[in-house]
Amino acid sequence: MKKTALGCGGILILGIVVLVLVPIAGYNRLVRLSQGTDSQWAQVQNVYQRRADLIPNLVATVSGSANFEKSTLTEITAARASVGQVKIDPNSAPTDPAKLAEFEKAQGALSSALSRLLVVSENYPDLKASAGFRDLQAQLEGTENRISVERGRFNEAVQAYDTAIQSFPALLYAGACGFTAKPYFTAVAGAEKPPQVQFDFNKPAPAKP
């Protein structure tokens, strides 16, 4: 009887240990996944900031070309300013889908403005001879590609995190511990396409619709 009691006591203790350790391990995993989304969000912000930092030099270089369309320069400058007006934490992945959508919209408008500027630039052969313009063109192309990569990695990190907080047993305590779902970047048609950076200075710019 004594051995049976000891055996039951051991099983009870083991059960208590499991009940304590499993949630702790699960909580620590959610912390790691959440920090992973934050880290990847910081990378996204870094590449977007790099693009924003390139624009003043690009505008200055392009505006040096005689009679360059002022409306195009005004548009890209305004688009860059609009991006800066979207206040969002650079080090913590957003949890508000509306805020991320606002961020995407502003960045998409800047992408469109860049595309138009580069298309218009085809009408100015003197830019082709500018080493500064060619260097900025190459840097911009690389940055746009990097933006696409980092956005994809961010979505992967968010998917892992969101799946974890919605899976058993984490779903029993995730919400109470402050772990809430985080939104993804969405694939808006045309909003995040890299600007066309292949130039043919012998062809006129396409007619405006």
Domain boundaries, the chain: 2-172
For range 99-118, the mean pLDDT: 92
Q: Tens of pLDDT along 114-150? A: 988 888 888 888 886 788 888 998 999 999 999 999 9
- Find out whether 59 and 73 touch, Cβ atoms under 8 Å: yes
Q: Give the DSSP per-residue string, 188-199.
A: -TTTTPPPP---
Is it the case that residue 192 has pLDDT exceeding 50?
no
For range 8-22, the mean pLDDT: 57
Q: Tens of pLDDT along 44-93? A: 999 999 999 999 999 888 887 767 788 888 999 999 999 999 989 888 99
- pLDDT computed for residue 12 by the predictor: 61
CATH domain 2-172 topology: de novo design (two linked rop proteins) (1.20.1440)
- pLDDT computed for residue 25 by the predictor: 80
- pLDDT computed for residue 22 by the predictor: 60
Is it the case that residue 205 has pLDDT exceeding 50?
no
- Find out whether 104 and 191 touch, Cβ atoms under 8 Å: yes
For range 144-159, the mean pLDDT: 96
Average pLDDT of the residues of the chain: 82
If pLDDT is split at 50, 70 and 90, which confidence band does 101 have?
very high
- pLDDT computed for residue 206 by the predictor: 42
pTM for this predicted structure:
0.79
Characterise 169 by phi-psi region: left (phi > 0), alpha (psi -120 to 50), beta (else). alpha
Whole-number Å distance between alpha carbons of 173 and 179: 9
For range 99-114, the mean pLDDT: 94
Is it the case that residue 15 has pLDDT exceeding 60?
no
- pLDDT computed for residue 127 by the predictor: 80
Whole-number Å distance between alpha carbons of 205 and 192: 22
DSSP state of 167: S
Is it the case that residue 198 has pLDDT exceeding 50?
no
